[in-house]
Amino acid sequence: MLQNDNRAQFSTRLGVIATTVGSAVGLGNIWRFPYEAGTHGGGAFLITYLCFIFAFGIPILCAEFMIGRGTHSNIFGAFRQLRSSGKWHWVGYIGIVASIMILSFYSVVAGWTLEYLYQSITGALNLNSQEAYHAQFQQFSTHPWRPLLWTILFLIVNFVIVIRGVQKGIERMSNIMMPILFLILIIFCVNSLLMPGAKEGLEFLFSPDFSKIDSSVMVSAMGQAFFSLSLGLGTMMTYASYFSKETHIVKSATITACLDTTVAILSGVIIFPAVFTFGVSPTQGPALVFEVLPNIFNQLPGGSLWSILFFFLLFIASLSSTISMSEVSIAYFTEEKKMSRNKATILNTAIALIFGTLCALSFNCLDNITIAGMTIFSIFDYVSSNILLPAGGMFISFFAGWLLDRSFIHNQLTNNGSVKVRVTKAIIFSLKYVAPTGIILVFLSSLKLI
Ligand code: PFF
């Protein structure tokens, strides 16, 4: 789909949803959400996250969809078309930096998924205590070359798919895999709900202690909302440039956000009962799900089969996300810099390989390089998700709310008046006031300026 210059369109509504959900659902839901929720107070984090999804996320997703479909262009071309004067295409640069930073650390975690898939196949995950799973992950992540090898392998797979323009194949595959992933997550949920720590786990996730909502919770929840929806960097805008005239923007944005959020919550419902059952601290950080999930699978009848299936599906989910983020810089190199697709893909992968290596090594030989207590990996994660994506989102919402022609917005949201949309005013209100000021306020409060 994406390599065609004649701008093929998604033929069905399902095609639209499957592709946007393919980008949105990935490690962000299954790996990042539980660890962020775990380190930021569980329920307090979840409620803040949900507020951001509905107050900022869905409206900004609508804005990216409108701009992308209305201009049939990537983020640079779109801003240039809509506002030839001014410096709005700079928002595109934020998107490129963010997409490359995310690709770099995301590939490390996708590499962990591959290692765990491999270990599930060889039976190395059949351990008998939570301590053993903890030790296993520590041993692996601090190994001098293993994580790096998997990171490189993952980036090569991503490269081969993107350069050969066979996204279509992967998308078709992920259309089948995503529903299966959804199904097995539900099975795992039921299993977790039967664990002795279920009550404690659910309480941790669903009963918010409002006093815990401080600026750090808000920054993380906001970052998670943007990260999970692939928002603020132009990914969704690029995808929307392939939407047809009939695509219902508001419905598509709402369905995408709801499915994405459901997967994150399912993941929380799987992890936290197990966390309390196994006596793990929810504040483990990035290691959390890799230490807890294998122990859950091990206790299921047919353990390794579940584990193989799960890590394989997670790998496909990660791949459909990295393909979508790679498209941001590739679209820039090909459409703005007139590079060939091959060169653009090589460049994108080469940069990600360099930074991905630094991220992978920051768990072992580079773990002494820290800024404000954060390793290179955490810095890449924090800066891209918590700063660059919301900043990009703020500019996009400001642009859509204040500078876009009202008739453009109206035509996009209602498909030239052919569908009735009751929430047009609410979306414009959010884009104009709620999202940009909200994002600025969260930034200011995290800098302790308010
Ligand atoms: N939304 C993806 C996830 O939750 O795993 C991550 C992501 C994909 C972020 C694509 C940004 C992006 F452009």
pLDDT at residue 2, rounded to an integer: 44
What's the half-sphere exposure (Cβ side, CA atoms, 13 Å) at 241? Answer: 24
Decide if 286 contacts 250 (C-beta within 8 A): no
* Residues shown for the chain: 450
Distance (Å, whole) CA 259 – CA 438: 24
The sign one gets for the Cα dihedral 25, 18, 43, 203 is: negative
pLDDT (0 to 100) of residue 11 = 61
Ligand 1 centroid from CA 187, angstroms: 25
H/E element holding 195? none
Atom of ligand 1 nearest to the CA of 29: 4
DSSP run (H or E) holding 298: helix 288-298
**Could you give the 3-state DSSP secondary structure of residue 128?**
coil
Q: Tell me how far the alpha carbon of residue 344 lies from the centroid of ligand 1, in angstroms.
A: 20
Asked if residue 5 belongs to a domain, the reply is no
Query: Ligand 1 center to residue 230 CA distance, Å?
Result: 4
Instruction: Using most ligand atoms within 8 A of CB, pick from 233, 324, 385 the residue to mutate for ligand 1.
Output: 324
Q: Tell me which of 53, 261, 325 to substitute to probe ligand 1's pocket, judged by most ligand atoms within 8 Å of the beta carbon.
A: 325
Alpha carbon dihedral 283, 46, 114, 136, in 10-degree steps, equals 20
* Token pair recorded at residue 386: 């918590």
**CATH number of the domain that 321 lies in?**
1.10.4160.10
Ligand 1 mutation pick, 321, 322, 329, 396, max ligand atoms within 8 A of CB: 321
Neighbouring CB atoms inside 10 A of 196's CB total 11
Separation between Cα atoms, residue 186 and residue 180, nearest integer Å: 10
Q: Over the chain, what is the mean pLDDT? A: 94
Do 42 and 205 form a contact (C-beta atoms < 8 A)? yes
Q: Identify the residues whose C-beta falls under 6 Å from ligand 1.
A: 23-24, 26-29, 99, 102, 227-228, 230, 233, 235, 321, 324-325
Give the pLDDT confidence of 55-88 residue by residue, as tens digits: 999 999 999 999 999 999 889 999 999 987 788 9
Residue 266 lies in a domain: yes
- Cα of 31 from ligand 1 centre, angstroms: 12
Rounded-to-integer distance, Cα 220 and Cα 374, Å: 15
pTM of the model: 0.95
Question: Distance between the two ends of the chain, CA-based, in angstroms?
Answer: 46
- Whose tokens are 């949803």? That residue is 17
Report if residue 176 sits inside a domain: yes
d(CA 362, CA 375): 6
| Closest by CA position to 328, among listed 105, 100, 161 | 100
Is residue 305 assigned to a domain?
yes
Task: Name, in order, each residue with C-beta under 8 angstroms of 269's C-beta and a sequence gap of 6 or more.
Answer: 189, 192, 193, 201, 202, 205
Residues 377, 382: Cα–Cα separation, whole Å:
9
**Per-residue pLDDT, 176:** 85
Q: What is the pLDDT of residue 167?
A: 62
Number of domains into which the chain is organized: 1
CB of 292 closer than 8 Å to CB of 274: yes
Report CA-CA distances (Å) from 290 to 165, 194, 211: 32, 21, 30
363 inside domain: yes
CA of 229 to the centre of ligand 1 (A): 6
Work out the number of other CB atoms within 10 angstroms of the CB of residue 156. 13
The Cα–Cα gap between 334 and 331 comes to: 5
**Is 2 domain-assigned?**
no
Span from the CA of 35 to the centroid of ligand 1 (angstroms): 16
Nearest CA residue ID for atom 12, ligand 1: 230
The span from the CA of 321 to the CA of 295, in Å, is: 26
pLDDT tens figures, 250-259: 999 999 999 9
Residue 276 domain boundaries: 13-446
Q: Which residues contact 390 (CB under 8 A, 6 or more apart)?
A: 222, 223, 226, 232, 439, 442, 443
Phi, psi of 165 (to 5 degrees): 60, 35
Among 345, 110, 96, smallest CA distance to 232 is for 96
Ligand 1 atom nearest residue 235's Cα: 13
CA-to-CA separations, 24 to 99, 112, 119, 317, in angstroms, rounded: 14, 20, 27, 9
Dig out the tokens for 352 from the structure: 């990600």
| 3-class secondary structure, 102 | helix
Is residue 361 included in any domain, yes or no? yes
Query: Residue 370 is encoded by which pair of tokens?
Result: 């820290």
Taking the CA atoms of residue 249, residue 252, residue 255 and residue 259 in that order, the dihedral angle to the nearest 10 degrees is -130
Ligand 1 centroid to residue 252 C-alpha, Å: 17
Minimal CA–CA distance to 1: which of 175, 145, 133, 214? 175
Nearest CA, atom 4, ligand 1: 28
The Cα diameter of the chain in Å comes to 64
pLDDT at 4: 42
Q: pLDDT below 50 — which residues of the chain?
A: 1-6
64 in any annotated domain: yes
Distance 129 CA to ligand 1 centre (A): 33
pLDDT at 311: 97
